[in-house]
Amino acid sequence: QSFYFKSSLVAPSDFNGERYMFSCAVAAHEFIRMIEKQRRDKRSSRSNIRQLNESNLRVYGGGEAIGGGEGLHHNVSSSIIVAGANHAKPTSDLLWALTQPRGNLAIRFGGWILAKVFRHTAMEVEIDVASFEALSRAISLSGSSSSKSNATPRVVIIAPTHRSFYDFLIVSYICFTLPELGLDIPHIAAASDFASIPIIGWLARRSHAFFVKRGVGDTKKKDHDLSIRNNLTRITTERKEGPTFIEVFIEGKRSRDRTFIKPKTGFLRSVVETTEGQETVVLPLTINYEGLSDQTSLANEASHGLHEEMSLRRLMNWMRSVFAGNVNIGRVYISASENMVMPKSDNGQNIQKFAYAIQSRHQSRVMVSNYHIKSASLALELSEEVVLEALLELGCQIWPESSDYNMATLARTMPENREMLWASMLQFGHLLGPFIAISHPMWSLWLSPSFEQLGVNSTCNNKAVGTILSKLVQQFELAEKIVDKALENLHSKGFHSPDEKHVIQYLPARAQVPMLLMQVAVKVKVPPAGISHKKSRIIRHVKPLFASSVVSAASGKLQNNPNAEAFGAWGYQDSCFVLNVKPDRSKYAMMKGKRYAISGKPLTGLADFVEKELNAVIDPNGVTFPACGDLRHIPESDLTAESISEIVASFGGDESRISLRQADRARHGTGHTQEDMYDLRTGLIRFRLPDAVVWPENEGEVQALVSLASQNDWCLIPFGGGTNVTHSTHCPHKEIDPRQMISVDMKLMRRVIWVNEEDGVAYVEAGITGLELIRHMEKLGFTIGHEPDSYEFSTLGGWIATKASGMKQNKYGNIEDIVREVNVVGAKGLMSHKHKMEMTSVGRSSAGVDMKSLMLGSEGCFGIIVSAVIKIWPLAESRSHESVLLPNFGAGLRYVKGLSKMRSLKPASVRLLDNEQFRLGQALRASPSRFQSFRNLVSKNIGYYIGNFSERSVVCATITFEGTSEEVKMQKRSVRELASMHGGILAGSTVGKAGYDLTFAIAYLRDFALNYNILGESFETFVPWSKLTRVIEATKRKIYSEHKRRALPGAPFVCSRVTQLYDDGVCVYFYFCMNICGVGEPSDIFAEIERSARQEILDNGGSLSHHHGLGKLRSAFVRQIYSQDKAHHQSC
């Protein structure tokens, strides 16, 4: 039948029917083609996903070696690439992480970050999926094949090898990425060090980590095991069904040199006790690396002894390197051994043998690639063919090479130095250990600690293997010879029992063998010294060193002074640094008392800073010196009873103001040099002490005392605050001066006699301390403008006698600018100005040599200063602080030189800290909260980035402003503009004030450090601008060379600080401290190095002293700075 339809439409006369039919056909064709395309696209999308998955799948067979059991295997096996540059991803990392079937928000965030990190650092992270099948069956069916029980295991311990920080991340990443393996994301037994790191500790906890302590001593072992069991109980209880997965490293710590470490058993024993006989399965996991992300740190530690703990700052720096493309570890291959059932009880050695069995399974899955073969070839200077032949003979599993991994890729990831080459070669070191068990047992156990436990005994006649062993043994024996030579050198320097660190320090940096091997040789030849908190009790609080004074440093009216000075240490009795230990064994310092800004605040960075900088270990239990030595051996006073009676009579019969006690004589015969403190602490005072100490109360008593001294041929030694660091109060030996020596303590003469506010002068007795004088004047609305670092204890008389200088000399001048008149009692009576006026002073007079000029710097030689008229100023209207960070010390010196030329715009105080002292100041900051730590770190990194600063070069200038509001405003503007010109950035008033306040607390550090075998001292000089850089560099260099020449332990810490600015130069302080553990006569050796540094200062253009004076300590240098006749008088 024909088909037609009727329509009322009439085609136009020019209608072309054939054209119309063709158009319809074309439209139909396009419609059908579009539908087919959509169908093809859907099929293609599914195909692309399959292709991506297939591109991540590696199938090995046909003779390629791959992990899967003991020895070489040529069976068909498969693995999956889960991360890295070669990993094909179907979608964005973030979308992938969010759509994974398991994991909380922290884990998904971590997965997203890790996917990016692995892509930037690794070529591929490959998983041998077939090796996990046995465990999957054990979980889903009836336990492991070796178990008689049909119960599903309650706990699954994933026990990976531990070579890198990546190990923590890889296992969790695998479980997150491949839920098909049947492994839950494990709870990670992480080291407690991570818990306190801001951000990292928080993320770790939310990613199923719990924290355990490492290296706990026997006394705390029970508490430690209980803590582990409590964590295990909590974790297993939270799991409602199925086994609990826990990740733990049985070796305890990372082995970045890739040797196997003797396994630890504490965690495994705790698991046995917690599971109470229920089945626990262990899955040994071998993580094979070509390169290591932290192998550079291994090389630095081996070569330079620089050990850096994990921190948020270090992690951020590493992440910056990662995304800059500077980290490349090549390939990673993860393979599981057959799961093992843990013993249900620990009778004797069960757990120990089981741990070694786990390690043996680890070793069976170790793989070697061309990377390791080439490293071994370069390290041993052998051909790659010989190395490969030996490995095949030893049954080593060879890493199969993929088509996209060529020699160019290999070259980019090869180690950069010899230490890293050897570490890479030691990937297969465990295979060689058994062959040298008889000839070199120590080295055998280092290469393969489980070899002896498992009763393996190996021999091999293969030539290639023999060649490698011969090369290894040659290097081992050479390492031992070098260590023997280093020991002989130390013995010749007087160190007969050096510890490991000391020996390693003096190993040659460029020896024929890598430092890695020499360090192993040291561990065998030198008995470990040990730290008592590792093998003994952990104390939570060390008794303060000077909690109670042995005896008051003064007698009579000073005994009940609440501000009494400590004996045998700097400062007040109620203030000192103490060392505490947290429950996690981390050490922190704290300053007792309430006097200073840092008092009562935990200083968590100080102990760590000192240990790193001095390459020393601070033992919290090992207080080296007592608060005060035994003073009973001090000879009795030579002062006769008749002489004593005469003195008492001159004091109106007050017997309390004369003392013959050993403690008072010891304090007044010493100052605050390191020799003084060392002698007082040991009780071995090696110099003559005064025969008596007296405390006059007024000028008349001083005159009477001087008169008696003239009659009886006594020698009087004025004593102010006792803060001298020049041995000025040391008594000469009797062979030089046989007279009786009497110390005249002026502290009871501390009155402010009058103040003339109109003329701006005050008349004050010389025994008043700076703190008392400042407080008295502040009550009246004035300031004396003189504020030396020692102002709390030093006296007005002492300032005049030593020609002192204060921090604010830029505004108020030095003591010579502040003192107007001086009154002195000499052998012929009172010497003073006699102007016809009362309660004021002549500001300037041209009438010959005046008394002030004679007394400034006289150091008590011309008489006893009893009083002085000084200049005073109204209190400043405005006071504030600022700090400036500059890129390096050179920029800092140019900056402060610019400030010195600013005349009236020069701030009251400017101090420039070099990098070492700036970092010490940072270590003395109170511990911030975690949020503050993160904020500080971010702001510091941003600031360093903006200023192009480096943590090891940045310096800081702390600035104090005083004046009218307008003056301070103008000074701040000038400081800011000058900082910009020299590449500096403002760090804020908080840092500036903290630096200013720290000046007074930091003085307590020296005597605190002496508790722990660290001896320190400071010394100062004036240096012209033209000689400044040379003096500082030469002095530091001299100290380092002298320290090395004597083969002293640890590293010397040397820093410097510019403290006062002048038009023509600056005052520079040097600070030097060193580790004296095991050093004979340390105080004498320290003094020798200090004298060498002082000579270097003079040789390069510095002065003998800027404001400390000469005393007896520097008298030997006087002939170098004065003419012959004057030098003779100064020395006398």
- Catalytic positions are 1069
What are the phi and psi torsion angles at 785 (to 5°)? Answer: 75, 0
- How far apart CA 188 and CA 672 sit, in angstroms, is 53
Q: Which DSSP helix (H) or strand (E) runs through 829?
A: strand 829-831
Nearest residue to 693 (alpha-carbon basis) of 722, 726, 736, 725: 722
Residue type at 64 in one-letter notation: E
What are the phi and psi torsion angles at 909 (to 5°)? Answer: -145, 135
Nearest residue to 690 (alpha-carbon basis) of 712, 720, 670: 670
- Burial annotation 77-90 (CB, 10 A radius, 16+ → b, else e): bebbbbbbebbeee
Task: Give Cα separations from 594 to 22, 418, 568, 601, 1001 (angstroms).
Answer: 102, 53, 21, 10, 11
For 269, residues 6+ apart whose C-beta sits below 8 A from its C-beta are 225, 346, 351
- How far apart CA 783 and CA 876 sit, in angstroms, is 8
Beta bridge partners of 834: none
Q: Are strands 1053-1061 and 909-913 parallel, antiparallel or unpaired?
A: antiparallel
- How far apart CA 427 and CA 331 sit, in angstroms, is 14
What are the phi and psi torsion angles at 977 (to 5°)? Answer: -65, -40
Task: Give Cα separations from 450 to 291, 453, 476 (angstroms).
Answer: 24, 5, 20
Do 801 and 794 touch, CB atoms closer than 8 A? no
Task: Give Cα separations from 404 to 117, 226, 288, 631 (angstroms).
Answer: 20, 51, 19, 79
- How far apart CA 425 and CA 399 sit, in angstroms, is 14
DSSP code string of 26-39? HHHHHHHHHHHHHH
What are the phi and psi torsion angles at 652 (to 5°)? Answer: 70, 25
What are the phi and psi torsion angles at 1120 (to 5°)? Answer: -85, -15
Per the rule left: phi > 0, alpha: psi between -120 and 50, beta: everything else, 1103 is beta
- How far apart CA 199 and CA 312 sit, in angstroms, is 8
Classify 685 as helix, strand or coil. coil
Nearest residue to 823 (alpha-carbon basis) of 870, 769, 768, 865: 865
- Burial annotation 94-104 (CB, 10 A radius, 16+ → b, else e): eebbeeeeebe
- For the chain, report the end-to-end CA distance as a whole number of angstroms: 145
Unique residue bearing structure tokens 């056909």: 25
- How far apart CA 563 and CA 464 sit, in angstroms, is 78
- How far apart CA 637 and CA 629 sit, in angstroms, is 19
Do 728 and 675 touch, CB atoms closer than 8 A? no
- How far apart CA 390 and CA 464 sit, in angstroms, is 5
- How far apart CA 499 and CA 57 sit, in angstroms, is 53
- How far apart CA 961 and CA 968 sit, in angstroms, is 6
- How far apart CA 119 and CA 547 sit, in angstroms, is 58
Angle formed at CA 184 by CA 182 and CA 185, multiple of 5 degrees:
140
- How far apart CA 627 and CA 1007 sit, in angstroms, is 10
Classify 885 as helix, strand or coil. strand
